[in-house]
């Protein structure tokens, strides 16, 4: 299979792509929540909430970018300037979806004030966000 053929996301059957994307979303979500728990373990919840959100989001972003680039969109490594531009676009498409995720997590935390409900809100927000993000990334980031 040529490198050009490997780049084409339509070479995967739709069901395979959905399963792979969902699996990577779960991995990034788990990484995000684990990092948040680690931050909460060392910083008071009231002070550490924003720090936990930012740290978890950063880890999830970098992990998901690498997985999406290679295994969803079959994009090849590029020179540093092009890679930086692409990662910046990937991050930019995530701004709105991150606000959905954060809004859901903050709302659940504000209402119920429990870690279980905070994480439930995070999972709900991330799920909605990842569905939207895939469509944005396919159109604007990994156009290949």
Q: Which of 66, 90, 97, 84 is nearest to 140 (CA)?
A: 90
Cα dihedral: 80, 86, 91, 94 (round 10):
-160
CA distance 13 to 36: 34
Give me the domain span that covers residue 55: 3-141
pLDDT tens track, the chain, 144 positions: 444 444 454 567 888 998 999 999 999 989 999 999 999 899 877 778 889 989 999 999 999 999 999 999 999 999 999 999 999 999 999 999 989 989 999 999 999 999 999 999 999 998 999 899 999 999 999 986
What is the domain count for the chain? 1
Q: Which of 56, 2, 12 is nearest to 30 (CA)?
A: 56
* pTM for the structure as a whole: 0.81
The per-residue pLDDT for 30 is 94
């Amino acid at each position: 299979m040529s490198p050009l053929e490997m780049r084409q996301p339509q070479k995967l059957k739709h069901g395979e792509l959905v399963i792979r994307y969902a699996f990577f979303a779960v991995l990034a979500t788990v990484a995000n929540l684990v990092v948040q728990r680690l931050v909460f373990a060392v910083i008071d919840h009231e002070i550490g909430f924003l720090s936990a959100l930012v740290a978890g989001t950063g880890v999830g972003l970098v992990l998901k970018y690498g997985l999406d680039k290679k295994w969803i969109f079959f994009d090849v490594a590029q020179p540093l300037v092009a890679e930086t531009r692409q990662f910046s676009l990937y991050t930019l498409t995530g701004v709105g979806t991150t606000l959905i995720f954060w809004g859901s997590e903050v709302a659940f935390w504000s209402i119920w004030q429990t870690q279980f409900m905070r994480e439930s809100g995070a999972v709900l927000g991330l799920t909605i966000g990842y569905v939207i993000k895939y469509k944005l990334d396919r159109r604007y980031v990994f156009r290949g």
